[in-house]
Amino acid sequence: MINYGSTGVCRVAEIKELGGRTKGSKRLYYVLEPLYQSCVITTPADNKKISMRPIISKDEAERLIDMIPTVEAEEFHSSVIRELTEHYQASIDSQSCEELLELTMSIYSKKRTLEQQKKKFGVIDERYMKRGEELLFGELAAALEIPREQVPEYIESRVEKLKR
């Protein structure tokens, strides 16, 4: 299982040799099956353009969830859409579960603040909150070997146990 770019968690279905750019050359390719999309991706094993890394372990996933109560989520506000998008996209592009956790928590915090002020939650905020959750919950689900839809409940119950 690997995390592949902005696709998220993929199963490496096959590693095969295919012809390269020059005649007679061969190159290794991964055949990837995304866990949460119905498609197949074939990419060079030495692809430098798209980040690939092993998914986190079960222990790392649990450690990440256990640190939730201590995370200080700083809300990011900007009336310039480009700044907002660049800020959120940097967290998505990092492929770091810690950054995705901070991103989603900060946007949730922003949403609560705006609701309390009776203000509208932005479309960009909504889009990146959803995307961050998809990537984070997808990797946590794979690491914990549970369905993705059970991740919020798992997090909630684990955080509750920590509070006791």
Let me know whether 14 and 62 are in one domain.
no
CATH of the domain at 152: 1.20.58
Let me know whether 49 and 61 are in one domain.
no
Confidence category of residue 50, pLDDT binned at 50, 70, 90: confident
Which tens digits make up the pLDDT trace of 144-164?
Answer: 999 999 999 999 999 998 887
Averaged pLDDT score across all residues of the chain: 93
pTM here is 0.89
Q: Where are the beta strands (DSSP E) in 35-112?
A: 41-44, 52-54
Which tens digits make up the pLDDT trace of 107-132?
Answer: 999 999 999 999 999 999 999 999 99
Residues 6+ apart with CB under 8 A from 58: 143, 144, 145
63 contacts 151 by C-beta, under 8 angstroms: no
Let me know whether 14 and 95 are in one domain.
no
Let me know whether 17 and 83 are in one domain.
no
- Domain range holding 118? 56-164
Domain count, the chain: 2
Q: How far is CA 94 from CA 8, 52, 132, 147, in A?
A: 12, 11, 11, 24
Strands of the sheet with 41-44, listed across from one edge: 41-44, 26-34, 8-19, 2-4, 52-54
Let me know whether 77 and 45 are in one domain.
no
Which tens digits make up the pLDDT trace of 56-109?
Answer: 999 999 999 999 999 988 999 998 999 999 999 999 999 899 999 999 999 999
Let me know whether 48 and 127 are in one domain.
no
